[in-house]
Amino acid sequence: MSNTHYIDSKTLTINKVEQIIKKDVQLKLSDKARQNIIKCRAYLDKKQDQSTYPMYGINTGFGSLCNVKIPKDQLAQLQENLVLSHACGTGKRVSKKIVRLMLFLKIQSLSYGYSGVSIELVETLIDLYNHKVCPLVFEQGSLGASGDLAPLAHLSLVLLGQGKVEYKGKVEDSAKVLKQINLKPLKLKSKEGLALLNGTQFMSAHGLWALIQSRYILGFADLIGAMSTDAFNCNLSPFDDLVHQVRPHEGQRQTAKQILKYLSDSQIAHTKKDNVQDPYSFRCIPQVHGATKDALKYVSQTFTTELNGVTDNPNIFVEADQVISGGNFHGQPLAIALDVMAISLAEIGNISERRIYQLVSGSRGLPNFLIDNSGLNSGFMIPQYTAASIVSQNKQLCTPASVDSIVSSNGQEDHVSMGANAATKLVSIVKNIQTILAIELLNASQALYFRQPLKSSKTIEAFLKLYREEVPIIKNDKLMSDEIEKTRQFLSTKQARAFLDF
């Protein structure tokens, strides 16, 4: 991939966004994007000069103040006031990775030429991105309906030389950092503050981050699930494609095929079994993992559409000679998708914890709690407690946000999506599942040790060899939180992810 990504109107994919973020490329406007932005701004300036009619947010107040006409000489002050007054975020700081995604998505949305902002504003946002200036944005404050107003206000403060940013590892005043990178604070023009604040980039960035992580979560869920299947000495018959041909959900068939592929040359898998059936947490891996995969296809489609859309208000249509106030800032499509994603991903953690429980139960020839000399040693007793606690927390976090709404702005904004709350709790669920899968890997690795001299498949044995360089077999009790954290870190490495078969 080139070291420069040109912002244009070509369809963006989630994989493309992941590459842009990972490879830390520089952004630049394409010639077409520049022309679209300049053309739209020139049209808006001309429209303002010729029209005596109120245009929402351009020469009027905001929200329930939409009928208050603002004098022409106060329009710039109106936009600055908007940004300052809406920067009401609180709570934890949003991670740098997600804030950079927000910035990228805001640039992309403004580049289509339906927002009426100046070319200087967009190019300044690009300069901030390329210099890795990260505004301080906070988790709480957005209703997910008039756009992500509060978090996007914090994202935008730096343009005015206001607020704080993180730059080169330090939190500094925005004005100071702007001087360091030879930029001056902007004087916002009409509509620009509104274009910055109206939009779904807070929700979108969180959702895209979670979707990118989910690809690896689902990959490891299949791989680690296959390891646990061997570790518990399970039958392979539930993964036979004949079973799944008669109930052909795509994710289900794909998962069954993947498990069989991982275990195709396993000595353990092909030994004669005394057990006729296995617990659902093993036997139904295709049905559960597959259902999540199918659900996330809908989520991915929704976010891909949003990624390529315009979500501020009003929208400016130069060719149609219209400025239209609508509701593209409303986050309901994202809020529902974020809730679906939370529920479907949580089930990956739910079934994983059940496999963890089975592995430490002293069944199928495995020692109690996967440790010799149990009694003196508690072994893997308490990691299962930890996993159970996290699964329970995920269930609590899965309460849908999208079914909630609270009236705001004196009744003008009388239905809101609460998608921002759906977004922030989804991030917690994703991190929780990464921990649960790490605990399952820790358990499965230990259980496979007790199957020796029989071996699992070549793929799994190679994966285990790499893993055991970081987390050796546990012979006596030790500080297990360290082993869990080392396993979490291992699963984030390129070497571990190289084993995933997407």
Answer whether residue 117 is part of any domain.
yes
Q: Give pLDDT, residue 141.
A: 96
- In this prediction the pTM is 0.95
Answer whether residue 502 is part of any domain.
no
Amino acid 257 reads K
Does residue 219 share a domain with residue 140? no
Of 152, 183, 199, which residue constitutes the final position of a domain?
199
Q: Is 419 helix (H, G, I), strand (E, B) or coil?
A: helix
Q: Give pLDDT, residue 67.
A: 65
Q: Using CA atoms, how far apart are residues 304 and 296, in angstroms rounded to an integer? A: 12
Does residue 83 share a domain with residue 49? yes
| List 43, 53, 56, 129, catalytic entry | 56
Q: For position 444, which CATH number holds?
A: 1.20.200.10
H-state helical runs in 2-118: 14-22, 31-50, 75-86, 96-110
Answer whether residue 150 is part of any domain.
yes
Domain with 387 in it: 206-497
Number of domains, the chain: 2
Of 199, 232, 265, which residue constitutes the final position of a domain?
199
Does residue 380 share a domain with residue 449? yes
Does residue 257 share a domain with residue 149? no
Of 166, 184, 199, which residue constitutes the final position of a domain?
199
Residue 201 backbone dihedrals phi, psi, to 5 degrees: -70, -25
Does residue 181 share a domain with residue 145? yes
Does residue 43 share a domain with residue 192? yes
The answer to whether residue 56 is catalytic is: yes
Which residues does the chain have with pLDDT short of 50? Answer: none
Does residue 145 share a domain with residue 37? yes
Q: Are strands 170-173 and 164-167 parallel, antiparallel or unpaired?
A: antiparallel
Does residue 212 share a domain with residue 193? no
Q: Give pLDDT, residue 400.
A: 97
